[in-house]
Chains A and B, each alone.
Chain A
Amino acid sequence: MTVEQYNQCVKEFADRLYRFALKNVADPDLAQDFVQDAFERLWLKVDTVDYVKVKSYLFRTVVNLQIDRARRQKLQQQHLSSLPDPVERPSVHHDVQQCINEGVSQLTEIQRMVLTLRDFEGYSYQEIADLTELSVDQVKVYIFRARKFLKTYIGKMEVLI
């Protein structure tokens, strides 16, 4: 891959990667770090990564970074679970999209990831399976559960409104 192609990748995928990462981690700084890391790794392998496969390379890198972070977070949560729960604030929803966003934040990490890959990037089940190293059936099930959960969540919110 040439320098021009690399820069073209930055133009084409940086925003999409950022949106994907942001949707999953809900932290702008962390999402920026993920994108930067992904491009840094790409730059180091700029000679070996095929330009045609660069999109999946970048998304796979971000997915792996998220999985690593989720694992670390899980360990931290195990420690924090001994602490008292914070007081839950009642959420106020102005529209369905906001409601869905909140619902998405309550999905499991992997459900959220496969759903955003599916909806944001339009990846096929097979592509998502390749990116996340899951089986196609697992991907189907995760997406099904995520949609079912969100549908129920919307229903509950409608009742509340």
Chain B
Amino acid sequence: MRLTEIQLAHLALAYQDNSLTTAEKELLEVYLAQHPEFEEELQIAPKLTSDDLYIGPKLDYPSLEGLSIYQDEEAHPFEKLAIGSFEGLLSKEEITIEEGFLDQLIYQDTKKKIELTKLIANEQIIFPRHDILFKDSKIRSLSLQKYLYWTSAAAAVFFAAFLLNNSFSTKPTSAKSDVMHAQKRKTISTDKNLANTKNQKIKPSSSGPSILVSVPIEAPDLEESILQEEPPSTAFYAFNSAIEASNNNALNVAQTPIEENTALTQSALVQEGTNRKEPITMKAFLIQKTNERLFGVAQPTPQQRYETVARYANQSIGVPVKYAVKETEGAEKIVFQLGPISVERNRAKK
């Protein structure tokens, strides 16, 4: 059998590349049988395959053709078999196939190298700073979600109390003026009612002139009276002058609540008249406007403030809010009660 130099080169290269077809393998075997010296040339022929694909000069492994493991990967069947075996991924058929190669030196070498690829952890390497990782106690965290309802209500009250406090601390007038202002408002509304009523009488008492004012007993609605805040009428001033005259003459004034209101009217009006003429600062103006917005009046009494806060809290968060003022010596304690939560605030009496 004679082969051309080109045919021999092709066979040698295909052999090295492990890509001989069945026909080429038969051809090469026949040629080697006739020309055993060619086997030596075959061995020293330059390798054109990559190192990782080159396993050895075995011509054919028909049993490896049906290997399904790592079938999409480019590698020699021995490598696939060895790695699959090392990883424990071989099927029963593949294990049987592998057993057929266990005695083969090339496969043994391949398998040995694959086993060397197992990484071994160096136990002497340790984390050098264990001490910074250890903890003494648990993180103390407050889960607000559980108490969201109550905490939001408490926050609202705290905020309102804070506002109140600011308002008190910056307010130029004292608590007394608050009372006077409240009385003034009542008086104004009383004045209006007086203007409307026709049964007002002033009659002297036995020791002097006493005043009995008959006005509607129903107190006007608070909000209404705020809205009706307007300068007193001329009739009211005339009426008020009569009261003043009677007071100056040390007359007994009938001790009815209405008369009390009326007696206070004068001073309240005087105070009001004075205040109206005085220019106010921007800060006072802002406080006044804020109060009007929050409480409906420019200078609300503490009770009005507490009531408003409690009402707002009640309406906005749906939690029943109560408040109570406990007076002690020289101070008063305001207690807001939001379900199980109570917020206390002490305030010195002025």
Chain A residues in the interface with B (C-beta under 8 A)? 2-3, 6-7, 10-11, 14-19, 22-23, 32, 35-36, 39, 43-44, 46, 96-97, 100, 104, 115-116, 119-120, 140-141, 143-152, 154-156
Contacts and interface: CB of A to CB of B under 8 A. Distances in A.
B70 A144 contact: yes
Interface stretch (B126-134, B145-153, B276-284, B310-318): B126-134
Interface in B33-82: 51-52, 70, 72-73, 75, 79-80
Interface string B10-48: 000000000000000000000000000000000000000
A10 B113 contact: no
Contact of B113 (A19, A39, A43, A155): A155
A48 to B, nearest CB: 11
B89 A140 contact: yes
A144 B83 contact: yes
A contacts with B: majority SS? helix
Nearest to B132: A36
Contacts of B129: 32, 36
Contacts of A147: 83, 86, 114, 117
B134 A145 contact: no
B119 A116 contact: yes
Closest CB pairs A-B (n = 10):
A119-B119, A150-B117, A18-B127, A152-B52, A14-B127, A151-B113, A10-B133, A147-B117, A15-B126, A120-B121
Contact of A19 (B70, B72, B122): B122
A119 B133 contact: no
B125 A3 contact: no
A145 B113 CA distance: 14
B51 A39 contact: no
B73 A144 contact: yes
A10 B125 contact: no
Contacts of B120: 97, 119
A10 B131 CA distance: 9
Contacts of B133: 10, 14, 35-36, 39
B75 A15 contact: no
A19 to B, nearest CB: 5
Interface string B86-108: 11010000000000000000000
Contact of B52 (A32, A43, A148): A148
A155 B51 contact: yes
Contacts of B122: 19
Nearest to A38: B133
